[in-house]
């Protein structure tokens, strides 16, 4: 990267964004696109043809030779299939062509994407449809067209379609509330998301030597090094030169793609870092986060580094998550979670706040399920990330306000009558800067909610679909009640206070890591779904099916497909991890320990023959033998347990959780003891010290 980078000129230069469209499209075509994006109106094929032509010209100017419909299958990754623009002219030459039809619809051969039973393989057609609300871009010589992915019968096979549906729903219901408060201008309410992304960066040569990292993205073995993160010397610390160069390059690439990369710093664990973008609408944020994760990996490789996005690459130090900052904004940019300064503004704020509290309480299990994965099981509830129990942290001031509304007491001056919503002025609610309460899974941070349960490798679509859906649901119920009301202020007072009273159990300000909270949460009737195997079945409970089907976000079949895929993913990941452990233990760890043990015994023999003391050799050989035997047994136990995994996916998940994982833990314990006992020159792969403190 050159000195004096012109960031404003660089930013979005590889994106066919609104400014570019305005410049490159005929005025009527641009206006038709704009109308389509703001009101959801259809684009004619003529318009699509003109957009396609302009896109192609622009992309070719950026060095593109191909185009691809870029989509986000249900597994949470991204997929692409590239077609070149070439069209034969019949005389042995080609011209570059791209039609509106090709822009709007595609048909990748999609038979090998997991479909959760939605699409039989014999009927393998999957279609992609252009999403005109997210911008096309050029990357690696291709024009990327963000698309929705669906089956022949119209079922959504991706993460984008339900996200867009959920955004429409929450907008529709929020508008009903805004109208009740006299807002006539707002045409659309937009869920806004800023996803802070954590990741690890390690040297490529070290990574290459570890089969577990290569096959599973995390270390399955590894004794803890003498130093971990106890000195807190990494958090916000100076960034290593190599990593700094990577980050600089990464920012440049992200900016080119119009991703608002804003903040970068070291995180708690050695080799751990974070990137935070400036928030955008949820759809753009989701595309942006997918691209960010992909580019992080590619960019690291360019710098001879490896980016680990796994939730728990190393035992004993923090894992990685994603903080999903979420709020609702009007099309004019007014944040609906900003407390206002007039009684009406405050009342409106309290309506949105109560709806959020009610929704999270009612659908806590649904929210929990959207972050359930094999990787995230290492974090949630493991005293470094929020617990698996969902609760909301409001901060001291808002807590007191909620309390006063519930109790019917006045918040500020005890001698005054109770606070009347919509009539009295609330005190200004300051952004809570005192206690950020890192242990809370959902925290109100002044004008947005921060959902901290996401795993670092997950798509942010799932949790945001859930947040939009539950918010739409509660706002819809509120609007139903308020639209009927004869006395609006009285109805408002009743609605807010009743809602807060009914759902206040979800509010919790204390230490989420404590055992006392587990007991307290159980007393309050909050669910504690500690693992993916426990959580996932609740995803398809009748209540959750009703939520998403009544709002048209998923059909029941679509929801069940997601469930099947999440379950399958959990089982497959654990299967791979377990088999990798067996492989490494049998072919690397056991042989290394036996070789060392043999050399000890040889030395012992010689010393014995010479009549020299040999206490150390004897004791070490003894201990090694004890643990190599135990290792062998643990390998066999794990190997045999894998033969018993049930065919049924739900039973398999429970079996992995209750039988395979404990066997994996036993094997790791023995292997890690052997690592501590064995001469380092015998050890087959880099240790935690080698990796984390390179």
Residues engaged in binding ligand ADP (CB under 6 A): 192-194, 196, 276-279, 325-327, 335, 447-448
CB 326 to ligand ADP: min, Å: 6
Smallest gap from Cβ 250 to ligand ADP, in A, equals 16
Would you say 324 or 330 has its CB closer to Mg ion? Answer: 324
- Please state the closest distance from residue 194 (CB atom) to ligand ADP, in A: 2
Give the C-alpha separation, 353 to 345, whole Å.
12
Kindly tell me which of 50 and 267 has the beta carbon lying closer to Mg ion.
Answer: 267
Tokens in use for 528?
């504690």
C-alpha distances out from residue 392 to 322, 354, 387, 479, Å: 17, 12, 12, 23
The count of residues interacting with Mg ion (CB under 5 A) is 1
| 75 CB burial (10 A radius; 0-12, 13-18, 19+) | middle
Helices (H), 111-203: 160-180
Residues contacting 325, CB < 8 A, separation 6+:
193, 194, 195, 196, 279, 445, 448, 449, 450, 451
The span from the CA of 586 to the CA of 580, in Å, is 10
Choice between 20 and 447, CB closer to ligand ADP: 447
Q: Cα angle vertex 69, ends 63, 75, to 5°?
A: 125
**Angle at which helices 661-677 and 556-584 pack, to 10 degrees?**
30
Instruction: Give strand pairing partners of 326.
Output: 193, 449
| Residue 192 or 295 with smaller CB distance to ligand ADP | 192
Residue among 454 and 691 whose Cβ is closer to Mg ion: 454
> Smallest distance, Å, CB 550 to ligand ADP?
27
Spatial distance between the Cα atoms of 305 and 301, rounded to a whole number of angstroms: 5
CB 586 to ligand ADP: min, Å: 45
Nearer to Mg ion, 198 or 617 (CB): 198
Task: Compute the Cα dihedral for 528, 536, 289, 573 and give only its sign.
Answer: positive
Q: How far is the CB of 277 from ligand ADP (least distance, A)?
A: 5
What does 98 interact with, of ligand ADP, Mg ion, none (CB < 5 to 8 A by kind)? none
In the complex, minimum distance from the CB of residue 460 to ligand ADP, in angstroms, rounded to a whole number: 11
- CB closer to ligand ADP out of 7 and 31: 7
Comparison of 323 and 657: residue with beta carbon closer to Mg ion: 323
Classified as helix, coil or strand, 413 is: coil
Q: Please name which of 148, 144, 150 lies closest in space to residue 68, comparing C-alpha atoms.
A: 144
**Only segment of 319-327, 388-396, 549-557, 656-664 that touches Mg ion (CB under 5 A):** 319-327
CB 245 within 8 A of CB 302: no
The pattern of x and - marking residues 272 through 311 that bind Mg ion according to CB under 5 A reads ----------------------------------------
Q: Which of residues 619-638 bind Mg ion (CB under 5 A)?
A: none
Near Mg ion by CB under 5 A, which window of 31-39, 102-110, 165-173, 322-330? 322-330
**H or E segment to which residue 606 belongs:** helix 590-610
Closest approach of Mg ion to the CB of residue 196, in Å: 5
Name the token pair of 310.
């796994």
Phi, psi of 365 (to 5 degrees): -70, -35
Smallest gap from Cβ 333 to ligand ADP, in A, equals: 10
Minimum CB distance to Mg ion, residue 235 (Å): 13
Please choose which of Mg ion, ligand ADP, none residue 670 contacts, taking the beta carbon within 5 to 8 angstroms, the exact cut-off set by kind.
none
447 interacts with, out of Mg ion, ligand ADP, none, CB within 5 to 8 A per kind: ligand ADP
- Whole-number minimum distance, CB 175 to ligand ADP, in Å? 19
Output 198 or 569, the one with its CB closest to Mg ion. 198
Compute the least distance from the CB of residue 196 to ligand ADP, in Å.
6
For CA atoms 10, 15, 17, 21, the dihedral sign is positive
CB neighbours of residue 409 within 10 Å: 13
Q: Choose among Mg ion, ligand ADP, none what residue 628 binds, the Cβ cut-off being 5 to 8 Å by kind.
A: none
Beta bridge partners of 146: 70
**Which among Mg ion, ligand ADP, none contacts residue 69 (Cβ within 5 to 8 A by kind)?**
none
Q: Is 448 in the site for Mg ion (CB under 5 A)?
A: no
Nearer Cβ to ligand ADP (278/626): 278
C-alpha 477: how far from chain center: 29
Segment interacting with Mg ion (CB under 5 A) among 43-51, 305-313, 323-331, 418-426? 323-331
Q: Report yes or no: 562 and 554 within 8 Å, Cβ to Cβ.
A: yes
For ligand ADP, the nearest residue by Cβ is: 194
Query: Rounded CA gap, 554 and 105, in Å?
Result: 21
**What CA–CA distance (Å, rounded) separates 442 from 444?**
7
Which lies closer to ligand ADP via its Cβ, residue 159 or residue 448?
A: 448
Q: Which residues pair with 493 in a beta bridge?
A: none
Beta carbon nearer to Mg ion, 49 or 437? 437
Question: Greatest CA span in the chain, whole angstroms?
Answer: 104
Q: Quick one: what does residue 194 bind among ligand ADP, Mg ion, none, with the CB cut-off 5 to 8 Å set by partner type?
A: ligand ADP
* Binding window for Mg ion (CB under 5 A); candidates: 114-122, 142-150, 317-325, 343-351: 317-325
For ligand ADP, the closer of residues 260 and 481 by Cβ is 260
DSSP string, 657-674: IIIIHHHHHHHHHHHHHH
The residue among 11 and 655 lying less far from ligand ADP, judged by its C-beta, is 11
Q: What is the spatial distance between Cα 22 and Cα 82, in angstroms, rounded to a whole number?
A: 27
Query: CA-to-CA distance for 532 and 378, rounded, in angstroms?
Result: 10
CB of 494 to ligand ADP, least distance (A): 29
> CA 335, CA 329: separation in Å to the nearest integer?
4
Choice from 310, 323, 448, 562 touching Mg ion (CB under 5 A): 323
Kindly state the smallest distance separating residue 198's Cβ from ligand ADP, in Å: 13
Task: Kindly tell me which of 272 and 687 has the beta carbon lying closer to Mg ion.
Answer: 272
| Part of the chain binding Mg ion (CB under 5 A), chosen from 92-100, 320-328, 473-481, 615-623 | 320-328
Q: How far is the CB of 552 from ligand ADP (least distance, A)?
A: 25
Per partner kind, with CB cut-offs from 5 to 8 A, the member of ligand ADP, Mg ion, none near residue 192 is ligand ADP
Q: Determine contact, residues 683/601, Cβ cutoff 8 Å.
A: no
The entry of ligand ADP, Mg ion, none that residue 186 binds, CB within 5 to 8 Å by partner kind: none
Closest-by-Cβ residue to Mg ion is: 323
| Residues whose CB is less than 8 angstroms from the CB of residue 144 and which lie 6 or more positions away in sequence, other chains included | 67, 68, 70, 80, 136, 137, 138
CA-to-CA distance for 410 and 418, rounded, in angstroms?
4
Q: Give the binding site for Mg ion (CB under 5 A).
A: 323
């Amino acid at each position: 990267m050159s000195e004096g980078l012109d960031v404003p000129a660089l930013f979005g230069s590889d994106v066919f964004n609104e400014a570019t469209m305005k410049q490159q499209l005929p005025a009527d075509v641009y206006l038709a696109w704009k109308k389509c994006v703001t009101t959801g109106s259809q684009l004619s094929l003529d318009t699509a043809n003109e957009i396609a032509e302009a896109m192609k010209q622009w992309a070719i100017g950026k060095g593109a030779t191909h185009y691809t419909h870029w989509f986000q299958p249900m597994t949470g990754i991204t997929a692409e299939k590239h077609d070149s623009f070439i069209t034969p002219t019949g005389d042995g030459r080609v011209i570059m062509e791209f039609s509106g039809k090709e822009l709007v619809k595609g048909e990748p051969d999609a038979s090998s994407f997991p479909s959760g039973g939605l699409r039989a393989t014999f009927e393998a057609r999957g279609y992609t449809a252009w999403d005109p609300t997210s911008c096309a871009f050029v990357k690696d010589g291709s024009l990327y067209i963000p698309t929705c992915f669906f089956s022949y019968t119209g079922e959504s096979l991706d993460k984008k379609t339900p996200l867009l549906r959920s955004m429409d729903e929450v907008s529709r219901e929020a508008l009903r509330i805004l109208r009740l408060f006299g807002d006539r201008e707002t045409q659309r309410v937009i869920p806004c998301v800023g996803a802070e992304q954590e990741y690890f960066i390690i040297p490529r040569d070290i990574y290459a030597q570890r089969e577990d990292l290569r096959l599973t993205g995390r270390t399955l073995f590894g004794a803890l090094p003498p130093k971990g993160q106890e000195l807190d010397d990494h958090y916000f610390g100076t960034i290593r030169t190599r990593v700094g160069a990577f980050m600089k390059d990464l920012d440049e690439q992200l900016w080119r793609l119009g991703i608002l990369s804003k903040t970068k710093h070291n995180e708690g664990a050695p080799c751990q870092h974070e990137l935070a973008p400036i928030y955008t609408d949820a759809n753009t944020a989701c595309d942006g986060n997918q691209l960010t994760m992909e580019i992080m990996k590619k960019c690291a490789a360019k710098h001879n580094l490896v980016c680990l996005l796994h939730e728990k690459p190393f035992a004993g130090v923090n894992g990685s998550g994603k903080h999903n900052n979420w709020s609702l904004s009007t099309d004019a940019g007014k944040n609906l979670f900003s407390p206002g300064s007039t009684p009406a503004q405050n009342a409106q704020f309290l309506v949105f706040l109560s709806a959020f509290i009610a929704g999270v309480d009612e659908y806590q299990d649904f929210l929990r399920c959207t972050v359930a994965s094999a990787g995230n099981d290492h974090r949630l509830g493991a005293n470094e990330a929020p617990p698996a129990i969902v609760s909301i942290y409001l901060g001291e001031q808002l807590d007191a306000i909620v309390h006063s509304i519930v109790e019917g007491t006045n918040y500020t001056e005890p001698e005054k009558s109770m606070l009347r919503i919509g009539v009295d002025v609330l005190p200004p609610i300051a952004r809570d800067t005192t206690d950020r309460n890192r242990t809370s899974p959902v925290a109100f941070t002044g004008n947005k909610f921060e959902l901290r349960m996401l795993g670092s490798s997950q798509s942010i679509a799932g949790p945001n679909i859930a947040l939009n859906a539950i918010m739409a649901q509660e706002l819809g119920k509120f609007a139903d009640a308020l639209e009927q009301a004869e006395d609006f202020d009285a109805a408002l007072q009743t609605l807010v206070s009743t809602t807060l009273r009914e759902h206040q159990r979800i509010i919790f300000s204390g230490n989420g890591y404590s055992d006392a909270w587990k007991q307290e949460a159980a007393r309050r009737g909050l669910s504690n779904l500690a693992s993916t195997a426990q959580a996932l079945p609740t995803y398809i409970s009748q209540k959750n099916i009703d939520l998403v089907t009544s709002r048209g976000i998923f059909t029941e079949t679509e929801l069940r497909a997601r469930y099947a895929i999440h379950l399958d993913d959990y089982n497959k990941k654990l299967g791979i991890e377990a088999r990798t452990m067996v492989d490494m233990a049998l072919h690397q760890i056991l042989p290394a320990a036996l070789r060392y043990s043999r050399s000890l015994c040889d030395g012992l023999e010689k010393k014995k023959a010479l009549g020299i003391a040999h206490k150390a050799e004897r004791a070490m050989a003894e201990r090694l033998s004890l643990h190599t035997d135990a290792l062998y047994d643990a390998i066999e136990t794990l190997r045999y347990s894998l033969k018993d995994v049930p065919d049924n996916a739900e039973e398999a998940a429970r079996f992995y959780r209750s039988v395979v994982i404990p066997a994996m833990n036993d094997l790791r314990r023995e292997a890690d003891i052997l690592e501590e006992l064995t001469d380092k020159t015998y050890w087959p792969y880099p240790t935690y010290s080698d990796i984390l403190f390179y």
